[in-house]
Amino acid sequence: MAGTSVESAFLDWHGLLGDRRFAFRRLNTNSGSPWLTASRLPQLILYRPCGFKQSLGEPQPTHVLTPSGEYLELLSEKLNREVSDRFGRRVEMMHLRNGIFDDSTVSVINSATVAHVCREGGVGIDKRRFRANIVLDGGEGGAFAEDSWVGSTLVFGEEESGPAVYVTKRNGRCIIINLDPETGEQTPRVMNAVVQLNDNNAGIYGTVVRTGRIQIHDPVTLVQSARLPQTAHSLPFG
């Protein structure tokens, strides 16, 4: 479904609390990955979670706004039928306590990377297209600067003991970045641009090495080692 922007979030061992905790499961399939994604149903990104409240210690949506403008309860047969009818096969919503991820629990992208790919792909600049957990503004290096951070650690906030993510690998992209977050329309030129510009990579994946709350405008420090704390290079992100 569509992503949700927040002012702050708690970085836990399984990623940001509340992130990717619900998914539609395709029924009557023998696939090792039964989850319905926007690669199978592009209109899925037009379903918007809403009505957030605290449940089981983390923010969870209570309803979903459908593309037709209906507000349906998240865990309801009505929503299951709505998506099943659109997909053409039966699905059901499931709650996954620790989330469901394509690769890693945290994804990060630099706003310069977003802008460069969107321009080369011939679409408007929209960070939602990349579905990252964290978007960093400013900093050094320009587009794809994130590639050089692999093997280092990002520390968030003013304190050396702030929440931290160890950067494990570059983020290899799939066709979902072709989808317009507002309309669901596909522009293959976007993924083609990522392939040509950076070997199909845009952004980075990471694993949580220290928990804590992060928020918009937090400074970010790049620590040039997996071990904390070490000599740090300050990046003026915020």
- Position with higher pLDDT, 233 vs 46: 46
Does the pLDDT at position 201 exceed 80? yes
Domain boundary among 69, 95, 121: 95
40 lies in the same domain as 116: no
pLDDT the model gives residue 100: 78
SS3 call for 107 = strand
Domain boundary among 34, 64, 95: 95
125 lies in the same domain as 64: no
pLDDT the model gives residue 66: 96
Which of 95-99, 160-164, 170-174, 204-208 bottoms out in mean pLDDT, i.e. has the lowest?
Answer: 95-99
CA proximity to 140, closest of 194, 202, 221, 217? 221
Instruction: Provide φ and ψ at 76, rounded to 5°.
Output: -135, 155
Angstrom distance (rounded) from CA 164 to CA 162:
6
pLDDT the model gives residue 237: 42
Structural tokens at position 100 = 């469901």
87 lies in the same domain as 195: no
138 lies in the same domain as 77: no
224 lies in the same domain as 116: yes
pLDDT the model gives residue 56: 64
Q: Is residue 15 part of a domain?
A: no
pLDDT the model gives residue 226: 52
Task: Evaluate the omega torsion of the peptide bond into residue 163 and state whether it is cis, within 30 degrees of 0.
Answer: no
pLDDT band at 229 (very low <50, low <70, confident <90, very high): very low
pLDDT band at 136 (very low <50, low <70, confident <90, very high): very high
pLDDT the model gives residue 234: 39
Does the pLDDT at position 167 exceed 50? yes
77 lies in the same domain as 129: no
What is the rounded average pLDDT for all residues in the chain?
90
Q: Is residue 2 part of a domain?
A: no
* Percent with pLDDT over 70 in the chain: 94
Q: Is residue 192 part of a domain?
A: yes
112 lies in the same domain as 28: no
Angstrom distance (rounded) from CA 210 to CA 159:
12
pLDDT the model gives residue 232: 39
Q: Is residue 101 part of a domain?
A: no
pLDDT the model gives residue 228: 53
Highest mean pLDDT among 15-19, 59-63, 139-143, 200-204: 200-204
pLDDT the model gives residue 238: 39
125 lies in the same domain as 192: yes
- Which domain CATH number covers 168? 2.40.33.20
| Sign, CA torsion 6/12/17/20 | positive
- Position with higher pLDDT, 133 vs 33: 133
Phi-psi region of 110 (alpha: psi -120 to 50; beta: other; left: phi over 0): beta
128 lies in the same domain as 231: yes
114 lies in the same domain as 49: no
pLDDT the model gives residue 227: 53
Task: Write out the residue range of the structural domain in which residue 168 sits.
Answer: 106-235
146 lies in the same domain as 229: yes
Does the pLDDT at position 68 exceed 80? yes
* Percent with pLDDT over 90 in the chain: 74
57 lies in the same domain as 110: no
User: What is the pLDDT averaged over residues 142-160?
Assistant: 94
Q: Is residue 78 part of a domain?
A: yes
Tally of domains within the chain:
2
